[in-house]
Each structure stands twice: as structure tokens, then as C-alpha cells.
Amino acid sequence: MGEDVTVNLSPQHPLAAGLTHDSRLVRAYRGLRSDTLPVWFMRQAGRSLPEYRELRVGTRMLDACLDPAMAAEITLQPVRRHGVDAGIFFSDIVVPLKLVGVDVEIQPGRGPVFGRAYADAAAVAELTAIDPARLDEAAGPITEAVQRTVAELATLTAPGAPTSTPLIGFAGAPFTLAAYLAEGGPSKDHLAARTLMHADPGAWRALMDWTAELTGRFLRTQVLAGASAAQLFDSWAGALSLADYEAHVAPASAAALTHVHDLTYETTDAAGDAGAHAVPVVHFGVGTGELLGAMKSVGVDVVGVDYRVPLDVAALRVGEGVPLQGNLDPALLAAPWPVLESAVREVIARGRTAPSHVFNLGHGVPPETDPNVLTRVVELVHEAGR
């Protein structure tokens, strides 16, 4: 994809059709504030909801992700229940790996487990012999799930919102995929990936180029099918030094996002917003307080901030004019309401230092969270964020 070539989204796409371009979420991602602060939660679709647990009985995680009707329903459940300003597509970062034939399953209580580790040059060569373009042929269930979700979201709005609720596409960043692959499963320190990075830079680059291509195609599939924004999630980048991130990881994240950067849509607006617009892109990482500026530099519109760094501090680190997303500590969802309310109001206040802000958690919703608490937080954010 050449830098000067753009691809217009279908006129029926929610952004191009005017259904989500002026939504609270998309406006915030474009650096604009609306009638109130938009809010959604990472992992809002999932184990904290009794309706999710009931639906998932007898179905393995990856099977649920690849069942279009089920994935759409799971994505929609928290939107209906909580009145959030966006749906986040129900998926998993290893779904694109599964679709191209990599041996991976998600084991309950452990996470993604691979048939083997890819921690040396020979193993990486075997893996990267798989053409990432195979994803395009195998992604039918993803396209259908997104289309089903978007069609239903067009009938749902957050309380007081004037437009359709947008869907956010989701994919794991190249480093996080590579960290799982090098280890063959979950790891606390990602030592295998960090070792490969330095012991065999050629193999590492090959692995990162491959994961970037694959996850970039996965994001693009979701946007073309109807997602109004894209989030690249780097679960494990916080294990890296700034120097290693910039030298060995950031180029791959930037390459992954080129698969979305060329997607544009046209609007006509009497208020002066007419013209071509790019699909907004968010980048979030866990434990990445020291990397925030570098994460912005890979080519994103919005930086997600985890709960370890106050938003006003994050605003200084990412630079002037950058919208922020975050960053309530998920642990506070189990605190007494006065404690939680105070923390929510503090996040909102600190977020005013950025040109725009999307309220979120500083990581995902814990499984044991009371869903009624999440609904109450949404109501508070909409009230306090006016």
C-alpha cells in the first residue's frame, strides 16, 4: 500500500453514511468534545456479565470468537446493559493466528497456548512461511460478525446521544503476538521474546514483520466490515525499555497500522466539517508509562493510558494536542461507592488537560465486577462529564 493511495470506505459504512462520524466517541477520537464525556470499558464484553456466562456454556473461547452470531451478541450485551458510547468487537488477539492455521487454543485460567514455541530462527522461518494473506480468505466469520454487530448498533444509542453507537475494531500489537509465540504461551517476563530480539535480530525482525502484516490485515478486515475506529492493544510492551521499544517494536506497530491508515471517508457538513477523514486509531499498552510518547509516534490519533500514570502527566508525555483514553484503576470497581465516585471524578478532571478524553479503565474489567457498578459509573461519567 503506497503512502499516497487512499481507499474510500463504502457509502454504507457507518462513518461514511453519517451514522457515527459525529458520535461522542468518534468526535473525541478526532480531538473534539461533545455534550458529555464518552465512556466504554476494555473487556466490557465478557465474564462480568451473567448473560455472557450463560451464552458461553459449552463453547470454547476461540469457537465463540469465530461464531458470527455469538460474537455479535456478546459485543452487544454491554452496550444494551450499560449504555456505553461504543461497542468493542468481541475477539481475541490470537484469532488471526488461528485463522491462518497456527496451532493455538485458549486454555481456561491460563490463556493462549501454542502447539510449539517459536523462539529460534528455524521455528520463526517455519511460522513466517505461512502467507499472512491467507487471513483475507479465512476472515469471513469476522466480517459477518462485524456486519451483524454494526447493523444492531445502528438501533442503539447511549442515553442522550444523537447518533448510532460506533463499533471499535480490535487487534493485538505485533510485539504482544510475538511474545506469546516465542514463549509458546503466557509468560510473566516475556524472556523468550526479549532474548530472541537480541540474540538473533534477523529472526526477530522476520517474526515482527510477519505479526505486523497479520494483525494489520485483521484490523483492516474489521474496519472495512463496519468498525468506526481501530484499537491496537499491546499487552506486554511494558516489559521493554524505551530503547528496545523504539528500535525493535515500534516499526512493526507502525507497519501494522498502515493497513488502516489508507482507509478514508467523505463527509458533507454545513458547519465546516466537510471533506476526507481518516479512520481514527487508538494505541493502548499495559505498564507503558515510559513509552507513551513513542507509542504515539507509531502513527495513532489517540493514546490509551493505563492506571499507573495520571492523565495530566500522560498528556505531557504524549505531546500537545493528543486525545487520551483511560484510565480508572479496575481495582476501584470493587471499592465502596464514595471511593469509586471520587476516583472517577478525578480521572475526568485530569482528562481535561487533553484536547479530548474518552473515559475508560486503565486495563480490562475484572471478571468478578458487579455489572450494576459499571452501569452506575457510566451514568456518573455522563453526568460529571457534561
Q: Are 91 and 97 in contact (CB under 8 A)?
A: no
Q: What is the 3-state secondary structure (H, E, C) of the chain?
A: CCCCCCEECCCCCCCCCCCCCCCHHHHHHCCCCCCCCCECCCCCCCCCCHHHHHHHCCCCHHHHHCCHHHHHHHHHHHHHHHCCCCEECCCCCCHHHHHCCCCEEEECCCEEEECCCCCCHHHHHHHHCCCCCHHHHHCHHHHHHHHHHHHHHCCCCCCCCCCCCCEEEEEECHHHHHHHHHHCCCCCCCHHHHHHHHHCHHHHHHHHHHHHHHHHHHHHHHHHHCCCEEEEEECCHHHCCHHHHHHHCHHHHHHHHHHHHCEEEEECCCCCCCEEEECCEEEEECCCHHHHHHHHCCCCCEEECCCCCCHHHHHHHHCCCCCEEEEECHHHHHCCHHHHHHHHHHHHHHHCCCCCEEEEECCCCCCCCCHHHHHHHHHHHHHHCC
Q: Are 334 and 313 in contact (CB under 8 A)?
A: no
Q: Is 107 assigned a ligand-binding role in the annotation?
A: no
180 catalytic? Reply is yes
Q: Is 308 assigned a ligand-binding role in the annotation?
A: no
What is d(CA 311, CA 348) in angstroms, rounded to the nearest whole number?
9
Q: Is 23 assigned a ligand-binding role in the annotation?
A: no
Which one of the listed residues 92, 234, 301, 306 is annotated catalytic?
Answer: 92
Supply angle C-alpha 351, 329, 249, rounded to 5.
80
Supply angle C-alpha 39, 41, 44, rounded to 5.
130
Q: Is 275 assigned a ligand-binding role in the annotation?
A: no
Q: Is 44 assigned a ligand-binding role in the annotation?
A: yes
β-bridge partners, 105: 113
29 catalytic? Reply is no
Which one of the listed residues 52, 180, 265, 307 is annotated catalytic?
Answer: 180
Q: Is 262 assigned a ligand-binding role in the annotation?
A: no
Q: Is 235 assigned a ligand-binding role in the annotation?
A: yes
Which one of the listed residues 56, 345, 352, 376 is annotated catalytic?
Answer: 56
217 catalytic? Reply is no
386 catalytic? Reply is no
92 catalytic? Reply is yes
Q: Is 131 assigned a ligand-binding role in the annotation?
A: no
Which one of the listed residues 27, 30, 43, 317 is annotated catalytic?
Answer: 43
Q: Is 46 assigned a ligand-binding role in the annotation?
A: yes
Positions marked catalytic: 43, 47, 56, 92, 180
Q: Residue ranges for the binding site? A: 43-47, 92, 180, 235, 363
Q: Residue ranges for the binding site for substrate? A: 43-47, 92, 180, 235, 363
